[in-house]
Amino acid sequence: MQRGLDRPGESHVLEAYEAAGGYRAIRKALGMSPEAIIEEVKKSGLRGRGGAGFPTGTKWSFIPRDSDKPRYLLCNSDESEPGTFKDRWLLENDPHLVLEGMMVAAVAIGSHLMFNYFRGEFTYPLARWRAAVEEAYRKGYLGKGIFGSDYDLELVTHYGAGAYIAGEETGMLESLEGKKAFPRNKPPFPAVEGLFRSPTLINNTETLATVPWIVENGADSYVQYGTEKSRGTKLWSCSGPIGRPGVYELEMGYDLMEFLEGDLGGMMEGVELKGIIPGGSSVPVLTPEECRGAKLDYEGLRERGSLVGSGGFIVIGDNMSAVDCLLNLAHFYAHESCGQCTPCREGCGWIEQLVQKILDGRGTQADLETILRVSDLMAGKTICALADAMAWPAVAFIKKYPQEFAALCAEPVDMNELTAAVGRHDHILPRAS
């Protein structure tokens, strides 16, 4: 549902965006009451595209209307989840769409100051974004009396330093305030006490980019796409040994294997499918058997024991080691843990060390069981979900590829005992609700 794509190479330019119908949604929104805008987004069934999948309109309605403090709108463009690059695509190719979505959200909550927090490595997307913002200011679409109305709206672009934890919404608030990006305990939630202790709405880049189409065309049109509980479309960042990697927009509920074998061109020649991480590095891997018949929506993936997450569709070939994959993830999370919570600070590092020990051929069955136990002691026991992001892949990889881990251990592994150990700890993995 992007705009401006009928002029290849120019979709990031304001003229091309408007030629494709851009900025009609914000003009319409300026003539609506805030309550009407929020109600339309609620009716659409749009859920947050950053990972949590929380209903967007409901989140907007949490912003208090009677507060004497300013209200802020914050776009989370700190896309740092390994395997995910759809927000980068939006910022590079359709920045005005993101900007218009921010404007509509700001009007809906009565905000007059917006922020966009960029990932520190996003040099090219940042340049495209800043050029789009400058165009908007020159046209009077930002600043005093936007679009000839009496509504004032300013924007601040903040360039992060490249910390994964700053993508967690309360860690981002801390960073914007000039502090370490340590996630906050909740409550209070950002909607009540967010940036500078004022009501703050935080949405992901893709979430906000979806809003203009909904407002312009109506919720009734949007709900025609997707499933009953997972409405609309979703962007998927697809990588791995596949024929056509890239960013794809799919209707929610699309068949996973049809997507892989059809749209993505199947596996590369000579490579068989070993597994797929469907929602970015922090969600559990699915085996080929689990992928068959799976639907790409919130309920469908949860039924298979994984999550939509951020839509980072990582395909793993049979020429890749499951132990190597887990070590790569463990190294990332051990490096990116902010260190505020002991289970995460110590646990991520322990898991990395133990997986490295196994890969080096020095591991034991006790080490595998320690990884499982440590993961259990991490999941759900920290301020933010980074500990879960390490624990879920650790348990899932050992559960689904036990033979690969056992084959690298220095002594024989009792597979029955290992299976029993997995069973004692796999309750932490996502399950159908």
Judged against a pLDDT cut of 80, whether residue 331 lies above it is answered with yes
Dist. CA 10–CA 417, nearest whole Å? 59
Confirm if 244 and 80 have CB atoms less than 8 A apart: no
Residues 217-229 pLDDT 10s: 999 999 999 999 9
Structure confidence by residue, pLDDT tens digits, 86-130: 999 999 999 999 999 999 999 999 999 999 999 999 999 999 999
The Cα 50–Cα 247 span in angstroms is 15
Name the residue among 259, 263, 257 with its Cα closest to residue 244.
263
3-class secondary-structure state, position 293: coil
* Residue 192, pLDDT score: 96
What does the pLDDT read at residue 80?
A: 93
Element (H, E) at 255: strand 254-255
Q: How many helices (H) and strands (E) does the chain have?
A: 19, 10
Asked whether residue 65 carries a pLDDT value surpassing 50, the answer given is yes
Please give the backbone phi and psi of residue 430, each rounded to the nearest 5 degrees, phi first: -60, 145
Q: How many residues are listed for the chain in this entry?
A: 433
pTM over 0.85: yes
pLDDT in tens, 246-286: 999 999 999 999 999 999 999 999 999 999 999 999 999 99
**Is residue 81 within 8 Å of residue 281, measured between CB atoms?**
yes
pLDDT of 10 over the 90 cut: no
Q: Using one digit for the tens of pLDDT, what is the confidence trace for 82-93?
A: 999 999 999 999
pLDDT of residue 4: 47
Please give the torsion angle defined by the CA atoms of residues 199, 132, 215 and 107, in that order, rounded to the nearest 10 degrees.
30
322-428, what's its fold? de novo design (two linked rop proteins) (1.20.1440)
4: which 2 tokens? 């401006």
Establish how many alpha carbons lie within 13 A of residue 180's alpha carbon, considering only the half-sphere containing its beta carbon.
7
Instruction: Say whether the peptide bond before residue 188 is cis (omega within 30 degrees of 0).
Output: yes
Q: Domain coordinates of the chain in residue numbers?
A: 14-222, 233-317, 322-428
- Name the token pair of 255: 């068949």
The domain defined by 233-317 folds into: Ubiquitin-like (UB roll) (3.10.20)
pLDDT band at 1, cuts 50/70/90?
Answer: low
Q: Are strands 72-77 and 113-118 parallel, antiparallel or unpaired?
A: parallel
| Rounded Cα gap, residues 378 and 431, in angstroms | 18
Model confidence at 3: pLDDT above 60: no
At position 117, the amino acid (one-letter code) is Y
Task: Give the whole-angstrom CA distance, residue 346 versus residue 340.
Answer: 10
Per the listing, tokens 């597994």 go with: 275
Mean pLDDT of the chain: 95
The whole-angstrom separation of Cα 283 and Cα 303 is 13
Is the C-alpha dihedral spanning 373, 374, 379, 381 positive or negative? positive
Dump pLDDT digits (tens) for 20-59: 999 999 999 999 999 999 999 999 999 999 888 899 999 9
**CATH H-level superfamily of 14-222:** NADH-ubiquinone oxidoreductase 51kDa subunit (3.40.50.11540)
* CB within 8 Å of 413: residues ≥ 6 apart: 365, 368, 402, 405, 406
233 vs 421: CA distance, rounded Å: 39
- Angle 396-398-400 (CA atoms, 0-180°, nearest 5)? 65
* CB within 8 Å of 219: residues ≥ 6 apart: 40, 41, 42, 43, 44, 45
Q: How far apart are CA 221 and CA 233, in angstroms?
A: 12
Amino acid code (one letter) for 330: A
CA 50 from chain centre, in angstroms, equals: 3
